[in-house]
Structure 1
Amino acid sequence: MIIAVTAFTLPNPITREEARSIFLSTAPTYQGAAGLFRKHYVLSEDGKTAGGIYFWNSKQEAEALFSDAWRGFVREKYGTDPTVSYFDSPVLVDNEAQQVFTDE
């Protein structure tokens, strides 16, 4: 599993309520995205940084979404450029399922 973390510093802080409204407006963009099985929207406590934590089947599928068009969409929506960091996740602890999963 690949985890991608995106972040962008907002030109002006936003409230949790503003973030929720914005995030709900963009959520349909990610529904059905190839290889994406979960996305968490995130907002810093001070409202100055927003982003997402994405869970992917592969880095190639993640990179296909995080294209120049996506970066332009973020720039237009939030007024700033995003960063994207990738992490390999070889082990997952799922307390709801009471299981530990590996990528093997």
Structure 2
Amino acid sequence: MIIALVEIPLEGPKRPEAAVIEQSLESTKIFHEVKGLRRKYYLNSERGGGGVYEFATREEALAWFNDGWADWMEGRFGVRPTLTLFDSPVVLDNEAGEVRVNGAPVGAPWEKA
């Protein structure tokens, strides 16, 4: 699994939550069709906005974050975003009560004798 962190540095105060929600919901029309994208978390802070993207594979992430992606984002937001890709081989899901390694459930380490 690949986690992508996109940061969009924006000047000024933190954007109002209602505006972020409205813009984010509108953008789901684009992102729900991105191949391999499992989840996208929309971010908002005093330093700007961004997103955390969960992709099935690095190839699918790179297909989305292609050479024209940063130009497209700059056209939308007026600033160039930064992108960092992370491998994420281990996931702790407290809601589901499980740990996964490369997508497969493993025994919970805290339950081992």
Query: Is TM (by shorter chain) over 0.5?
Result: yes
1:5 match:
5
Letter in 1 for 2:25: L
Structure whose alpha-carbon radius of gyration is higher: 2
Greater relative CO, 1 or 2 (CA 8 Å, sep 6+): 1
How many residues are paired up? Answer: 102
Given the alignment of the two structures, is residue 53 of structure 1 paired with residue 52 of structure 2, yes or no?
A: yes
Taking the aligned partners of 2:65 and 2:76, their CA distance within structure 1 comes to 15
Contact 1:3 1:86 in 2 (8 A): yes
How far off its partner does 1:12 sit? 4.0
Q: Report the aligned-residue RMSD.
A: 1.5
> Cα deviations across residues 17-39 of structure 1 (Å, max 9, x unaligned)?
21111111111111131111111
TM-score (norm: length of structure 2):
0.81
Shift of 1:68: 3.4
Unaligned runs of 5+ in 1: none
- Name whichever of 60-69 and 89-98 sits farther off: 60-69
- The Cα of 1:10 is off from its aligned counterpart by 1.5
Which stretch of structure 1 is more off in the superposition, 6-15 or 49-58? Answer: 6-15
Q: In structure 1, what is the equivalent of residue 43 of structure 2?
A: 42
Name the aligned partner's letter for residue 70 of structure 1: W
Counting only pairs closer than 5 Å after superposition, residues 1-104 of structure 1 correspond to structure 2 as: 1-13=1-13, 14-44=15-45, 46=46, 48-103=47-102
Q: Decide whether the 8 Å contact of 1:11 with 1:79 is kept in 2.
A: no
Q: Which runs of 5+ in 2 are unaligned?
A: 105-113
Contact 1:4 1:53 in 2 (8 A): yes
- Of all paired residues, the percent bearing the same amino acid is 34
